[in-house]
Amino acid sequence: MITNPVNTVINYNYFCLNFNDNFIEKCWVDDPDLAQHLREKFHGLYQTRGTGVIPFFMCELSFHNQERLAKWINENYILFSHLTNQ
């Protein structure tokens, strides 16, 4: 997990540019119905926004789901290992 706020922001930006196709299913693994709903929402946004979709997707989520995705990114998407525990 990244603990330094600056590195968290940098890591989020890398995630925005390099997200995996299955991040929704991984983040909402305990709620497949919600994951399906969010996947459909994501695909709709992707059709209009293209690869820069993540910030738009994040803004479409409820606060609870924004928080969940932000925590998931911080705990699971670490592009550079030297950013952990910093």
Q: What is the pLDDT of residues 29-39, one digit of tens each?
A: 999 999 999 99
Query: pLDDT grade, residue 27 (50/70/90)?
Result: very high
User: Which residues span the domain enclosing 25?
Assistant: 5-83
Domain count, the chain: 1
Please say whether the beta carbons of 70 and 81 come within 8 A: no
The single-letter DSSP state of residue 62 is -
State the residue for tokens 């890398």.
Answer: 14
83, pLDDT greater than 70: no
In this prediction, residue 3 carries a pLDDT of 75
